[in-house]
């Protein structure tokens, strides 16, 4: 069975759920993709629409593989088989959960606007997603509904993998899935599986409540006008990312992480959050696919990573509404080398660069061609990297600055030191994220 889009899937699912739904039902969509489906189910049932906000906990090196999920009210569930098979440590679980718990809090703030959830105590909770791949997020949502004393829990989705449905069954009183997923991604069952921004989720919720939101603050649009997962084509592979663009952002910063990290890096996520709060857009992205991440040669293949950074910048400028925005690069560790190399190409047209604990020695031949204002930030205790960046400062011909953070090591794990990085990066990008009016002499091929 195929669906044209989530609206079509919701209408078909709504007809099926209507056959068994109770008159006291409340429909709860899983943001973001589950909400357009849930909106149609709610219409079919004549029931209230709300959300249950959950976040998948992805395996660090394979983030699309769920090792568990967290939800509102402190709920969390784990897939211990996945954790064991992927050899995920307790420290890694904590790191991923901490990052996702912050994102869950942001979603709550943006979508609920301080309103309490619709009461489901003693009522039938119909929980809707756009597909069940592993079942982890649906299980977490069912746990949230149980914690809120739902009288009955019905888990529903247009498509679902048989194993995922099996994992969900113990958590729900009934599971309704229209078609089995054959092992492909959920999106393979849809003709149109475009990403759903938070603004669309908020619109659907408000429409279900009955019109304009008198409590809406126009300034909210500046928090996250665009907030979507991104699929970034770069040559023969597609990389995953997270794009957040405030409505009034003057520019967007692409994060280029260091070896062994990903778009989930808690340090980069923290800096990105700080930039977003200042009205600066961010793109957190992976540089390697899951299959490539274990290859240490690729981790240090600066030429490959540079090409992917350049492709990501080109992709970013091709997105609707972003063509006129200037772009900055934030590189960490080995990622800083790729950021500096990418900035040396005229067609990348970068407006500003910030490097944290950068391995600038890996970009030494490119430094004279970097024209964008460049800030190098290093922990004062990271003596080897301090020396490398002092040499890089001499090799750069652009406006440049070296900042050493007292009492900080390579990873800026010391209390308060990462906040210094975020503040310095925010000030640098705020000052320099503007288009250069003149052409620059730089590498062209």
Task: Quick: pLDDT tens for 271-330.
Answer: 998 888 777 899 999 988 877 877 778 878 899 999 999 999 999 988 877 777 889 999
Residue 159 preceded by cis peptide, ω within 30:
no
Average pLDDT of the residues of the chain = 85
Question: Could you give the residue ranges of the DSSP H alpha helices within 377-432?
Answer: 383-395, 417-432
In 3D space, the residue among 226, 207, 269 whose CA is nearest the CA of residue 49 turns out to be 207
Helix (H) or strand (E) holding 169: none
Question: Could you give the residue ranges of the DSSP H alpha helices within 256-301?
Answer: 266-277, 296-299
For the stretch 264-275, pLDDT in tens is 888 888 899 888
Residue 338 C-beta-side C-alpha neighbours within 13 Å:
31
pLDDT of residue 372: 94
Of 14-18, 233-237, 344-348, 356-360, which gets the smallest average pLDDT?
Answer: 233-237
Torsion of CA 359, 339, 278, 423, to 10 degrees: 10
Give 123's DSSP letter: S
Identify the structural domains of the chain with CATH numbers, from first to last: 6-209 (3.40.50.2020), 223-432 (3.40.50.1820)
Residue that wins the pLDDT comparison between 363 and 91: 363
pLDDT of residue 205: 86
List C-alpha distances in Å: 124 to 121, 151, 176, 209. Answer: 8, 6, 14, 19
Query: Could you give the 3-state DSSP secondary structure of residue 88?
Result: coil
Core vs surface per residue 122-161: b (16+ CB within 10 A) or e? ebbbbbbbbbbbbbbbbbbbbbbbeebebebbbbbbbbbb
pLDDT of residue 279: 78
pLDDT of residue 247: 62
Q: Which two tokens stand for residue 4?
A: 């044209």
Does pTM top 0.75 for this prediction? Answer: no
Does the structure show a pLDDT above 50 at 21? Answer: yes
pLDDT of residue 299: 77
Residues near 306 by Cβ (< 8 Å), separated by ≥ 6? 338, 341, 342
Maximum separation of any 2 CA atoms in the chain, in Å: 73
């Amino acid at each position: 069975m195929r669906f044209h889009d989530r609206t079509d899937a919701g209408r078909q699912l709504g007809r099926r759920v209507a056959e068994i739904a109770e008159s006291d039902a409340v429909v709860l969509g899983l943001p973001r993709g589950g909400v357009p489906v849930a909106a149609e189910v709610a219409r079919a049932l004549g029931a209230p629409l709300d959300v249950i906000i959950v976040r998948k906990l992805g395996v660090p090196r394979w983030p699309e593989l769920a090792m568990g999920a967290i939800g509102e009210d402190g709920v969390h569930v784990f897939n211990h088989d996945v954790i064991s098979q992927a050899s995920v440590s307790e420290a890694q679980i904590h790191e991923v959960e901490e990052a996702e718990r912050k994102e869950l809090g942001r979603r709550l703030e943006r979508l609920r606007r301080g309103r309490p959830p619709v009461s489901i105590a003693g009522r039938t909770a119909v929980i809707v997603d756009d597909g069940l791949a592993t079942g982890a997020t649906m299980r977490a949502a069912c746990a949230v509904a149980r914690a809120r004393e739902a009288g009955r829990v019905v888990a529903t989705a247009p498509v679902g993998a048989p194993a995922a449905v099996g994992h969900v069954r113990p958590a729900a009183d009934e599971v309704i899935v229209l078609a089995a997923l054959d092992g492909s991604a959920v999106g393979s069952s849809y003709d149109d599986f475009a990403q759903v921004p938070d603004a669309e989720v908020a619109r659907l919720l408000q429409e279900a409540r009955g019109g304009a939101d008198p409590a809406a603050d126009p300034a909210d649009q500046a928090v996250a006008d665009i907030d979507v997962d991104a699929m970034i084509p770069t040559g023969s592979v597609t990389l995953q990312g997270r794009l957040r663009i405030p409505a009034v952002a003057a520019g967007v910063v692409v994060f280029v992480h260091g070896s062994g990290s990903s778009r989930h890096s808690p340090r980069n996520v923290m800096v990105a959050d700080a930039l977003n709060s200042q009205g600066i857009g961010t793109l957190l992205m992976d540089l390697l696919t899951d299959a490539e991440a274990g290859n240490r040669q690729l981790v240090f293949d600066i030429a490959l990573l540079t090409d992917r950074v350049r492709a990501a910048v080109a992709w970013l400028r091709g997105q609707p509404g972003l063509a006129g925005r200037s772009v900055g690069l934030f590189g960490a560790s080995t990622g800083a080398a790729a950021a500096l190399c990418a900035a040396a190409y005229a067609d990348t047209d970068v407006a500003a660069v910030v490097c944290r604990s950068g391995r600038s020695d890996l970009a030494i031949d490119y430094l004279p061609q970097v024209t964008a204002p460049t800030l190098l930030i290093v922990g004062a205790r990271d003596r080897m990297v301090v020396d490398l960046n002092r040499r890089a400062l001499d090799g750069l011909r652009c406006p440049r600055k070296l900042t050493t953070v007292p009492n900080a090591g390579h990873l800026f794990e010391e209390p308060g030191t990462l906040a210094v990085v975020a503040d310095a990066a925010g000030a640098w990008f705020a000052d320099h994220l503007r288009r250069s009016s003149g052409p620059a002499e730089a590498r062209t091929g």
